[in-house]
Amino acid sequence: MERKLYDAAVQGNTILLLDLLRDDALLLDRFITGRHPETPLHIASMLGHLEFVDEVLARRPELAKELDSHNSSPLHLASAKGYLKVAKSLLQVDPDMCLVCDIDGSNPLHIAAMKGHLGLLRELVQARPWAARVLMEQGETILHACVRCNQLEALKLLVGRVSDHDFVNCQNHDGNTILHLAIAAKQTETINFLISSTTIDVNCKNEDGFTALDLLPQNQRDMKEKEIAESLERMEATRAKDKPLSNTQLKAIRTKILMSTWDQPNAISKPKKRKDGNRLVNSNRNADWLERKRNILMLVASLLAAMAFQAGVNPPSGVWQDNGPSGFSSTESNGKNHTAGLSVLADNYPRGYTKFLIWNTTGFLASLSIILLLISGLPLRRRFFMWVLMVIMWLAVTAMASAYLACIVALTPDHSYSSVINILGTGILVWIGLMLILLLGHTIRIIIRLIKYLRKSVMRLMKPISTRST
């Protein structure tokens, strides 16, 4: 029966699959409980049989988590072949399979990037963005893999979706950045892209003490090398080695950079210490900062919205249970009547109720705005947009705190009013101080980043002008 099921997977024959399951309902379960080099789902995913894959997943979705003898999941095999629809079906069952690494230390995103399957890569990144930050063997990132395989379009996609300064400048265990690899392979378009569109550090040194410019001869005869050298020099690249290297030495160094880890994909070496200015935080391996912020903001915004809604429909002091004179007692009603179902606080303390309503509504609308922006599908993947959303969240939290204060003031009797005001005043001062510190810290960070970006842009514009004038 198992042999027939393998044959059905090879052919993508769903009719035969259903017949076999009709004869033996536990046939697929044996591939979960037993030991097999691969499952029928592996075979169907590798061959792109979408209907067969959907049929298997509908009955035993657990098979999507099974690994073959090379620790490859069905998603690995679909990514290697570029079967987008098959990959989508597998992702719907368990998107966390994007994080699973095979025997070579590659997850499905690494494989799709190295193969240049852009549509599939885009789908995988959208499903689990932080999977792109998982390091491969020898401490290499997915960007290193793109350069090694000369997949410029995949590199551009990843830089636009998941990159930041530390990630772009990450060094492997030999200290080589993606710029070192690109120059060693003489990938002119990749080098120009890195220099013009990323924050790559052109003066970063590898473990042998070579910068990117050291990998080029000082007297370039090759037009491609000359073009690369001119581009680097425009970005103020410098040489770390005073003594020029011979062409034979340069060739040996380039070969070492390109082949040191590529020939031994399964070799696991102990990570070397990185320089502080070019380290990639280890926690980023399994979690993307932006994605975690999105999840936290969504959770807190949903909680605040629920609190504000509940406080709005069930206001402090409750609602009148019957019709009658307003006021705390019949003698204080002043001839006003209350209506069952309306707010007690609104009748007895209208000013306090108005303040409460203003702050509660502000917090409610701010929370709903965050939820709407996060589910809108807009590309809010930049730190700046996360900063804007956090500012809105501060507004929502502050509004809810103010609504609480308005309620406490309105519900406090006269004989305890002074002591409550002193306590609340102290709390307000502490709260304002904390908010100002947070706002100042984030504002300084934004200003520093903006200054660095403007300075770099001005340098790029001024360098060609000075070159033409000389």
Class of 1-134 per CATH?
mainly alpha
Q: Residue 427: how many CB atoms within 10 A of its CB?
A: 13
What does the pLDDT look like over 423-466, one tens digit per residue? 877 877 887 888 788 778 878 877 887 888 788 777 767 655 55
Distance separating alpha carbons of residues 98 and 345, to the nearest angstrom: 54
Task: State what percent of residues in the chain have pLDDT above 90.
Answer: 22
Helical (H) or strand (E) element with 239: none
What does the pLDDT look like over 267-281, one tens digit per residue? 333 344 444 334 443
What 92-97 contacts at long range (C-beta under 8 Å, 24+ apart), as own/partner pairs, is: 93/57, 93/61, 93/64, 94/61, 94/64, 94/65, 95/127, 95/128, 96/128, 97/64, 97/65, 97/73
The answer to whether 138 and 261 are in contact (CB under 8 A) is yes
Those residues with Cβ within 8 angstroms of residue 379's Cβ, 6 or more apart along the chain or in another chain:
none
Distance separating alpha carbons of residues 358 and 77, to the nearest angstrom: 56
What does the pLDDT look like over 371-427, one tens digit per residue? 888 777 665 556 667 777 878 888 888 888 888 888 887 777 777 767 777 787 787
Residues of the chain with CATH 1.25.40.20: 1-134, 154-286
What does the pLDDT look like over 215-249, one tens digit per residue? 887 766 667 777 788 888 888 888 887 666 677 77
pLDDT of residue 381: 54
The answer to whether 195 and 189 are in contact (CB under 8 A) is no
Class of 154-286 per CATH?
mainly alpha
pLDDT of residue 464: 53
pTM of full prediction above 0.95? no
Distance separating alpha carbons of residues 261 and 272, to the nearest angstrom: 14
Closest CA to 138 of 178, 172, 102, 103: 172
The answer to whether 91 and 75 are in contact (CB under 8 A) is yes
Q: Mean pLDDT score of the chain, rounded to an integer?
A: 80
